[in-house]
Amino acid sequence: MRTISMLEAINEALHQEMERDETVFVFGEDVARQGGDFGATRGLWKRFGDKRVKDTPLSEAAIAGIANGAAMAGLRPVAEIMFGDFMTECYDQIVNHAAKARYMYAGQFKMPLVIRTAVGAGMRAGPQHSQSIESWFVNVPGLFIVAPSTPYDAKGLLISSIRDDNPVLFLEHKMLYNFKGEVPEEPYTIPIGKGEIKRPGKDVSVIAYMKTVHQALEAAAILDNEGISAEVVDLRTIIPYDRQIILDSVSKTKRAVVVHEAPKTGGFGAEISSFIHEQMFYDLEAPVVRVAALDCPVPFNPRLEDYVVPSTADIVKAVKSLF
C-alpha cells in the first residue's frame, strides 16, 4: 500500500490495463502529449505511443462515435470528455447508440467502452464547467454509471469498468483529484454495483457518492459529538446501485438522508428516497430527507457557488430534523 491521489490512482489503472490488454486504448482532447487537461493520462503516450493514445479534434460527438465503433469492432476504448458539461455534445451517441446496441442487436455486439469525465463544482469554473450530470443519464437502460469517492475505489472501479462488456460512464469529481488515500500497487477490481459502509452508525443512514461522501463523514463526526450516530453509505456506483446495502442500513437506523451535489428536483436522490419509501415505509421513524444543490445554475461567484451547492452544515441540519 502507498498513499497516492485519486488522479494518480486513475492514471495507474489506465497504465496497468493497457499493459495487460492490448485492445485497450485511450483518446480524447489533449490526452496524449499533454497528458489530459487534469493530468489523468500523463505518461501514457510516452509509454504506448500514437497508436494507442490519441489526441482528437474538439468534437465530443466524434469522440463518443469512435468509442462506439471501436467497441463494436472488438476493442476496449477509454474516451475522455474533458468536462461532464460537454456530454450534451455527444448525448445521442451515448444514449441512442452505446446504451442500446447490445439490446437492439440481440447480443451480437458487446459494447466494452468507458467514457471518463470530470464533474462537480468547487473550481469556480462557472455554470458550463461545474455541473453534476448523473441524473441526465440515470433513466437510460443499458448504461452503467460509476462515481468513486476515494483513490482506492477509483482504481478498482476503473479497472472493473474497462473489463466490463457494457458502456460505462465513469464520473470523476474534480475536487477529489488531489484527495489522497492508500492504494495497492498491483491491479485489483471492485464490483460494479456494490456500495460500501464508510462509517458505521446506528441512528441514521446518510447515503452519498463522490464528494458528498466526505461531507457526510465530516457531518457524522460533528453529529457524534452531539449524541447522534450516523452511518455513512457510499454508493460508489449510481447505476446499478446497491439496493441491498441501503435496505440493510436503513432497516437498522430507521432514518435516512440522501446527499448529492446535483440540483434537487429530478436528482438521483429522488430515486433513492422513493426506493426506501416503497420498500420500508412502515419501518421508518421519519420521512427520507434529501440534501442537494438548489435548482439553480452553478454560479461563477465563489460565495454564491458555496451557497448553491450542499455543505456539511446542510447535512448536519437535515439529520437533526429527523429527531
Is the separation of the CB atoms in 47 and 76 below 8 Å? no
Active site residues: 129
Return all residues near 301 (Cβ < 8 A) that are at least 6 apart. none
- What b/e sequence results for 281-318 when a residue is b if at least 16 CB atoms lie within 10 Å of its CB, and e otherwise? eeebeeebbbbbbeeeebbeeeeebeebbbebebbbeb
